[in-house]
Amino acid sequence: MNYLEPERLDALAAQYVLGTLSRAARERLARLASGNETVAAALRAWETRLLPLAESLPPIAPPERVWPAILDRIQGQRESGSMWANLGLWRGLTLAGFATAMALAVVLLTPRPETPIETLVVVLAGQDARPALLVSADRSGRTLTVKAIAPVPPVADRVLQLWALPEQGNPRSLGLIPATGAASSVMRLDLPASVGLALQNIPALAVSLEPQGGSPTGLPTGPVLYSGPIQRLY
């Protein structure tokens, strides 16, 4: 039986979304969908057709204990503190970033300690806590230097977008980073104001994967690949 024969796939996807497939057939199709975009797209098409029907169900408020239980479950990866300090991604990452920043501080400061430059360093790491991008800047200047410290694989028709994550409110775009795929490539992003001003009260940066030209909504729409806390030196 060929699952990928279009009509067969369409019929299976329809029954999957409707819910009438047997357990074994459900599991098979779900497995296929996770590695095959044609199958995943067939499922999505039927979800788009059928799932709006669920909207007519009269809403029923779940018991109040559900939300705290969810928080408990996701709190395993968080530490107390401010909202951004709670970022699940950051555990371990903050330490990695701090260590790298300290190492850089030593390099930056050793030659001419008498004239410290107000710098800013951000180590952006993925969910595996491995550093991928290094953002640095002179805070009185207007340029962010973005250096790939690990190969950032390019994704077809997608770009990386750099965001400032404020303590409160929405992320703000800082610009697009072309993914070259090469480690140690360096890019420069020009900001409309001085770095110190543009990133005032911003505790962290993040990078998301966006369509060509950047997020169409002005907010991150794709997966967040990297993030990291801003370290201010002097």
Partner 1 sequence: MALDPDKRRQRSERLAELLARTALSNQQAFAELYRETSSHLYAVALRILRESGAAEEVLQESFVNIWHHAGSYVAAKSQPLTWMTSIVRNRCLDQMRRREVDTVTIDDEEPGMMLADDRPGPMEMLLSSADALAVKSCVERLEAGQKQAIALAFYQGLSHSELASHLRQPLGTVKSWVRRGLERLKACLDGAGLKR
Question: Residue 62 interacts with partner 1 (CB under 8 A)?
Answer: yes
Q: Determine the 3-state secondary structure of 98 from DSSP.
A: helix
Binder to partner 1 among 3, 28, 36, 45 (CB under 8 A)? 45
Say if strands 224-233 and 172-177 run parallel, antiparallel, or are unpaired: unpaired
DSSP at 63: P
DSSP one-letter string for 97-165:
HHHHHHHHHHHHHSS-TTS---EEEEEEE-TT--EEEEEEEETTSSEEEEEESS-----TTEEEEEEEE
Q: Which stretch binds partner 1 (CB under 8 A): 6-14, 109-117, 134-142, 192-200?
A: 6-14
Does 55 participate in binding partner 1 (rule CB under 8 A)?
A: yes
Q: Token pair for residue 136?
A: 């640095």
Stretch that binds partner 1, among 78-86, 99-107, 117-125, 180-188 (CB under 8 A): 78-86
Counting contacts by CB under 8 A, is residue 92 touching partner 1? no
Where does this chain touch partner 1 (CB under 8 A) — which range of 86-94, 133-141, 174-182, 188-196?
Answer: 86-94
Question: Is-contact 21 15, C-beta < 8 A?
Answer: yes
Residues that bind partner 1 (CB under 8 A): 10-11, 14-15, 17-23, 26, 30, 44-45, 47-63, 65-67, 69-70, 73-74, 78, 83, 86-90, 163, 165, 170-171, 206, 208, 211, 217, 219-224, 227
